[in-house]
Amino acid sequence: MPWKDGKTWVYSITYDEGCEELLRYALPLHRAYGVPGHVALVASQVGVPRDLPGSSYHGMMILSKAQIAGLVQEGWGVSCHSLTHCGVTFENAEREVVAARGVLEETLGMTVPLFCVPGDNTGHPASLAYAPKAGYTAIMTIYDRVNTRETDLYHLGRVPLHTEYPAPFFSVYDPYKRIHQAIDMEGWIIDYCHCPMPDTPIHPAKDCTTQELERRFATVREIGGDRVWLAEPNEVVQWLLAQGAEA
Ligand SMILES: [Zn+2]
């Protein structure tokens, strides 16, 4: 059997930045459909308004330590989304990748073994180079692909769960996105978006709406049945590492 408890594929979802609005618009759906969530947090911006001028999420309140602890208690996970979200380079990786982990762990009072590359994938090579020094067990990117048990944990792909792709694609929302591929591959989908809102996404190429999020969860449950393992990424990484240790 390929995954934990004989499940044949895995579904995870992550929210970058960790906006407080998740409590209002995403958490109820997670509870209703039994899907654990995950937030990728900028280490220097916990419990404060997001400070990144130019970002679609600038000024939005970020989850506090206590709110994050509450989510973790009900099965959610956390990753480090760099120190300041300025984009990881070989020049700043000591700070943005290595020091960031210590800052976030100190702030949250918990271990954070997963790194999530901020911005786009251009920061991946420098993140890769410094992740071992920081002791991260895995790195999440935004390469749009299904992971498998053989995927290098420092190259985890994530599937954009967005209302519409940017130019030149303009693709429409697809609640089935990569699900049948994941089933065929016995793979692992990690969805990603930021902060779903009712009716209109904050940014169509960075988010979906709450209605679209609910359709995704309903589709995962309907097609996945009892074959899908609903887990947050840290749990899956830990399980994979334990399998490797046994082998
Ligand atoms: Zn981000």
Confirm if 12 and 147 have CB atoms less than 8 A apart: no
Which of these, 118, 39, 134, 123, lies nearest to 84 by C-alpha position? 118
Mean pLDDT of the region 83-107: 98
How far is the centre of ligand 1, averaged over its atoms, from the C-alpha of 84 (Å)? Answer: 10
Q: How far is the CA of 227 from the centre of ligand 1 (A)?
A: 31
Find the 82 Cα to ligand 1 centroid distance in Å: 9
Number of domains in the chain: 1
Could you tell me the distance, in angstroms and rounded to a whole number, from the CA of residue 90 to the centre of ligand 1? 18
Distance CA 128, CA 117 (A): 10
- Say how many Å lie between the CA of residue 107 and the centre of ligand 1: 19
Amino acid in the structure at residue 121: N
Q: How far is the CA of 80 from the centre of ligand 1 (A)?
A: 10
CA of 131 to the centre of ligand 1 (A): 18
For residue 89, pLDDT over 90 is answered with yes
pLDDT for 87 equals: 95
Distance 98 CA to ligand 1 centre (A): 17
Q: What are 49-77's pLDDT values in tens digits?
A: 999 999 999 999 999 999 999 999 999 99
Is residue 1's pLDDT more than 80?
no
Pairwise CA distance, residues 61 & 240, whole Å = 34
CA of 81 to the centre of ligand 1 (A): 7
Ligand 1 centroid to residue 118 C-alpha, Å: 5
pLDDT tens-place string over residues 7-29: 999 999 999 999 999 999 999 99
Summary mean pLDDT of the chain: 97
Calculate how far, in angstroms, residue 134's C-alpha sits from the geometric centre of ligand 1: 19
Task: Report the pLDDT averaged over residues 119-146.
Answer: 97
Environment class of 132 (CB within 10 Å of its CB; exposed 0-12, middle 13-18, buried 19+): exposed
Which CATH number characterizes residue 137's domain? 3.20.20.370
Ligand 1 centroid distance, CA of 17 (Å): 6
How much is the pLDDT for 66?
98
Segments forming the whole domain that contains residue 60: 4-246
Distance 5 CA to ligand 1 centre (A): 33
Handedness of CA 151, 144, 124, 72 (dihedral sign): negative
Q: pLDDT-based confidence at 152, cuts 50/70/90?
A: very high
* pLDDT value, residue 246: 79
pLDDT interval class at 244 (50, 70, 90): confident
Q: In this predicted model, what pLDDT tens digit does every residue of 155-197 receive, in sequence order?
A: 999 999 999 988 898 999 999 999 999 999 999 999 999 999 9
Distance 228 CA to ligand 1 centre (A): 27
In the predicted model, is pLDDT for residue 247 greater than 80? no
Residues 194, 199, 200, 201: what is their CA dihedral angle, to the nearest 10 degrees?
10
Q: Report the separation in Å between the CA atom of 144 and the middle of ligand 1, taken as the mean of its atom positions.
A: 16
Count of CB atoms situated within 10 Å of the CB of 21: 18
